[in-house]
Amino acid sequence: MKLLHIDSSVLADNSVSRKLTAKIVAEWQAAHPGTEVDYLDLAVSAPGHLSGEILGARFVPAEGHSALQKQETAYTEALLEQLFAADVIVVGAPMYNFSVPSQLKAWIDRVLQAGRTFRYGANGPEGLAGGKTVIIASTRGGPYSTSDVMRARDHQEAYLKTVFGFIGITDVRIVRAEGLNMGEEAKNAALASAHADIAALHA
């Protein structure tokens, strides 16, 4: 079994999502001995955001690629191979301004490719990267799951479920710690809840 561990928080050792993904991966390996882990730290080595030149490489024969297009196409291909090889994907996804870090969005923009991870058929879009499990370590400063008003502002978990579902991954599990910026008591309760979610992954 292969596991792809992705972190995207820019807070290094102060990141709650990084602590949660580390715990998720460690417990997954304990429950599934022999699991191989591939690590991707998007805060350290984020894909470049799409430009007209980078995106244009998808529509030009390889022999017509510029030096930048050749470099970026090879990098994107490596990300796709990493995704396809994984049986399990653990994603650290803190909420930044109601959505995900731009580094994580840049990775998504690279791996969502027509003809590779999805295609359009007679019945609409079809995911091509199914058969995997995704575990999202979701962290946010406020409580976004407790009311309709706050849920409407959640473009983090809802977005990621849509993204992975679009490429055919329907087994998407959430480990959530929210209300982290609402005092020590609320933070401790959020972490306890997240740890319970992690324990339940193997129950």
- Residue stretches of the annotated binding site for FMN: 9, 15-17, 95-98, 139-142
Query: What residues pair up with 6 in beta bridges, in sequence order?
Result: 40, 91
Q: How far is CA 137 from CA 99, 109, 117, in A?
A: 14, 20, 23
**Sequence ranges of the binding site:** 9, 15-17, 95-98, 139-142
Closest C-alpha among 90, 100, 87 to residue 158: 100
Residue 148 main-chain phi, psi, to 5 deg: -65, -35
Q: Cα(first)–Cα(last) distance of the chain, in Å?
A: 19
DSSP 45: S
What is the C-alpha to C-alpha distance for residues 96 and 191, in angstroms, rounded to an integer? 19
Residue 110 main-chain phi, psi, to 5 deg: -80, -40
Q: Which residues contact 103 (CB under 8 A, 6 or more apart)?
A: 8, 10, 42, 43, 46, 47
What is the C-alpha to C-alpha distance for residues 10 and 46, in angstroms, rounded to an integer? 11
